[in-house]
Amino acid sequence: MHDMSLPTNWSVVLGAVALALIGLSLARRVRQWSRLRHIPGPFWAAFSRWWLIRHVGGGRMHLDLREVNEKYGRLARIGPDTLVTSDPDLLRRMLGVRTRYRRSDWYDAMRLDPAKDNVLSMRDDDRHNELRAKMAAGYSGKEVRDLEKHIDEMVQALVDLISRKYLSTNADYRPLDFGRKAQYFTLDVISNVAYGEPFGFLATDSDVHEYIQTTEENLPAIIMVSVLPWLNKALQSPLLKSLLPSDKDPIGLGKIMGIAKQVVGERFGPDRKVQPDMLGSFIAHGLTQAEAESETLVQILAGSDTTATAIRATMLHILANPRVHAKLLAEIATLPPSSGIISDAQAKRMPYLQAVIKEGLRIFPPVTGLMTKDVPPTGDTYGDIVIPPGTKIGYSAFGLFRERAIWGDDADVFRPERWLAGDDEKAREREAALELIFGYGRWQCLGRNVALIELNKVYVELLKNFDFEIVDPTNPWKSINVGIFTQSEMWLRATRREV
């Protein structure tokens, strides 16, 4: 029998190699810890990404980041190379038009196709600016014929759906999951505005093509790529790419990709369709067919979930606060009798409604992803703190919008009156901070205008037509955070409002 053991000298060599590798790993971790050791944060976060992975996957990342900033300060460490801030001044400096900060590899996770960029994932500043310029007019609504009319149609469709299927009486209980209906509404709005025809979520009162279900199932994986960017490269391999959504899929995100591809295809070629909608504007300003397919899909993803969250959260806070509810109803009652949907211009002249919208966005910001930016190659400073190059700084939404130094000791209270408190320096500080809800500077949200028109209309029309009650105030909804929120089982009882 042969002796299969390694010679003594080989055992020594392998042992030495193993020790060397362990030593190198320890040295790298010590070096990572050392470069940001002057910035406080959770102890283990300084040595490993495990803290981030665990909290991103926990469903309450927005609250975890807020707690970090409350405990360790407005700038805190949450990873070997990652910081998080709740300071609006620092965020504005990072996001401003002339910023030297750049998007980090966090944005690679925003690629719907791991090999292709879109306006959300693009990290090349010149290409990003070029894409934004081609789409700005479409998103602003300036080149979309009947933009407000398209939104009005979907507001009316939501009112009609509730009237048709979900009115309760003393003898007939018909609860509605407002969490789902709000998303049906925003999905139909963005598709109607984007290319002239709604998907039909409200008309069918269903999750068309199981889009919402499959998207929610995939969101945790998407956000995990933002913490571990190397996964994006792995997803480009032929084996794993076959597991991703495809435009050939019969359901889910892949089906929506297929619809977007078909709609865009009709706008190119010798018999191309020309329409005065967002897609038409994008193409008129030079978007290629491949770019139009990608950006149309991003519109749907980015424009529906976030606005739906704003609608759900604000409605929940209105219904849970009788004083606010009553004051808003009193203002709605002053509107002139009309058979049509309230206009955007009318809504802007309603001070209490505008205060409610602002307070709803503040108390429950819809976008809570880190969206980290790379510190400039020359580094930066924050007060007396030196921030070395090679560092990423992320955004703590709930930290910023619940910070008592900005919002007062009642920062956790839904109080729209804080927006009616005059025009002093504190009021201007609050207004400036709220702008960060939609991003800022070169990365401001392109869909801001459409989202605000939706918010200006939907609360008025719902509260004008119905009285709502929260079915279970002790458990009003199922809300999970993965950078954006997935929210459902928001059960309400609706009755016809008697004027």
Residues in the annotated binding site for heme: 445
Tell me if 163 sits within 8 A of 155, measured CB to CB.
no
DSSP secondary structure letter of residue 113: B
Pair type for strands 392-395 and 82-85? parallel
Pair type for strands 102-103 and 373-374? antiparallel
Q: How far apart are CA 338 and CA 332, in angstroms?
A: 12
Residue 409 corresponds to which tokens in the numbers above? 């000791």
Q: Angle of helix 147-165 relative to helix 178-195, nearest 10 degrees?
A: 150
Q: How many CB atoms lie within 10 A of CB 274?
A: 9
The label of the residue with tokens 């089906």 reads 255
The label of the residue with tokens 């300036």 reads 142
Polymer length in residues for the chain = 499
Tell me if 207 sits within 8 A of 253, measured CB to CB.
no
Residue 110 corresponds to which tokens in the numbers above? 């925003």
| Binding site feature residues | 445
DSSP secondary structure letter of residue 470: E
Q: Angle of helix 178-195 relative to helix 211-227, nearest 10 degrees?
A: 90
Q: How far apart are CA 347 and CA 340, in angstroms?
A: 13
Tell which residue, 460, 497, 488, 242, has the closest CA to residue 340. Answer: 460
Q: How far apart are CA 62 and CA 397, in angstroms?
A: 7
Tell me if 60 sits within 8 A of 481, measured CB to CB.
yes
Q: List the beta bridge partners of residue 392.
A: 82, 374
Residue 52 corresponds to which tokens in the numbers above? 């981030």
